């Protein structure tokens, strides 16, 4: 990367120098939030370069990362060819998904106003409900909170997660995807989280939330995992 590169002024590029500075730069980790953006980039066939932000070494807390992305969370991107041809820095996965869909004029965010706002509604359902609640189940079931003797906090989040899964189960009756026949940003946002709560390598909480009671979710999750772009995006960035 040369001094004249449009990315040279961003602190994050000192720690993760881009090999392809003309591409969208993705800073992420294969977590449920992180893979939403890599899957979207693969589905939209947008050129990008992925950089692994390791939680094990607290990369997200380094001055280089925080100097560009002040919320110290993944995923985050820099698009060197943002609006007006100028670089655009973005964090928050929902905002990134919307931006990428609009940039590429992707049908993943429908053009029809009604379908567009319904898609955004389900995207926000994930951002405000599924992600936070499932994440708390993971904490209290598998990670630091699992050793708490009082199981009431865990059970509170389990019950709410089970309710959210029930909402999705009802929504999918007679539908191929969240929005019907069309695969959209809503699916990209929701299914990595549904997948993670059930996987032994994820939160391993399938029995806890009653996963066997949700046949429609099982059906659609299988279809989601079978998509080639999803299969690739689930492993981006590659762990070292």
Q: Is the pLDDT of residue 3 over 90?
A: no
Smallest CA-to-CA distance from 168 within 205, 207, 132, 221 is with 221
pLDDT exceeds 90 at position 220: yes
The residue whose two tokens read 């990315």 is 7
Rounded mean pLDDT, 106-130? 98
Q: Does residue 240 surpass a pLDDT of 80?
A: no
Say whether 220 sits in a helix, a strand or coil: helix
Q: What is the pLDDT of residue 6?
A: 84
Residue 151, pLDDT above cutoff 80:
yes
Backbone angles phi and psi of 78, in degrees to 5: -125, 125
Residue 2 has pLDDT above 90, yes or no: no
Q: Give the start-to-end residue ranges of the domains of the chain.
A: 12-106, 113-231
- Domain 12-106 fold: Glutaredoxin (3.40.30)
| Percent share of the chain, pLDDT over 70 | 98
CA atoms within 13 A on the CB side of 148: 15
Residues in the chain: 240
Question: pTM, whole model, 2 decimals?
Answer: 0.96
pLDDT for residue 4 is more than 80:
no
Identical fold at 12-106 and 113-231? no
Grade residue 239 by pLDDT with cuts at 50, 70 and 90.
Answer: confident
d(CA 86, CA 234): 29
pLDDT tens-digit readout, 173-210: 999 999 999 999 999 999 999 999 999 999 999 999 99
Contacts of 142 (CB under 8 A, 6+ apart): 203, 204, 205
Strand pairing class (88-91; 24-28): unpaired
Residue appearing with tokens 């993670």: 196
Give the CATH number of domain 113-231: 1.20.1050.10
The predicted structure's pLDDT at residue 122: 98
At 36-45, the pLDDT tens digits run: 999 999 999 9
**Measured torsion, CA atoms of residues 175, 43, 127, 102, in degrees rounded to the nearest 10:** -100
Mean per-residue pLDDT over the chain, rounded: 96
pLDDT of 1 over the 90 cut: no
Give per-residue pLDDT as tens, 94-114. Answer: 999 999 999 999 999 999 999
Token digits for 209? 């939330």
Contact 54, 114 (CB under 8 A): no
Whether the pLDDT of residue 80 is over 80: the answer is: yes
Of all residues in the chain, what percent carry a pLDDT higher than 90?
96
CA atoms within 13 A on the CB side of 177: 20
């Amino acid at each position: 990367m040369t001094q004249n590169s449009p990315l040279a002024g961003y602190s994050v590029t000192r720690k993760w120098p881009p090999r392809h500075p003309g591409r969208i730069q993705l800073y992420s980790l294969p977590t449920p939030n992180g893979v939403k953006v890599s899957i979207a980039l693969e589905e939209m066939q947008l050129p990008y370069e992925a950089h692994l932000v390791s939680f094990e070494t607290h990369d997200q807390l380094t001055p280089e990362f925080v100097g560009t992305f002040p919320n110290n969370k993944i995923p985050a991107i820099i698009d060197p060819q943002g609006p007006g041809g100028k670089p655009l820095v973005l964090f928050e996965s929902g905002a990134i998904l919307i931006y990428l869909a609009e940039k590429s004029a992707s049908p993943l965010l429908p053009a029809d106003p009604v379908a567009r706002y319904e898609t955004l509604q389900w995207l926000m359902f994930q951002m405000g409900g599924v992600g936070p609640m499932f994440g708390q189940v993971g904490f209290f079931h598998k990670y630091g909170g699992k050793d708490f003797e009082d199981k009431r906090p865990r059970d509170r989040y389990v019950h709410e997660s089970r309710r959210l899964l029930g909402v999705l189960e009802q929504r999918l009756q007679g539908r191929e995807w969240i929005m019907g026949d069309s695969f959209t940003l809503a699916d990209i946002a929701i299914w990595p989280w549904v997948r993670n709560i059930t996987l032994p390598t994820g939160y391993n909480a399938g029995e806890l939330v009653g996963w066997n009671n949700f046949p429609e979710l099982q059906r659609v999750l299988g279809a989601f995992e079978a998509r080639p772009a999803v299969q690739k995006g689930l492993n981006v960035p590659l762990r070292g």
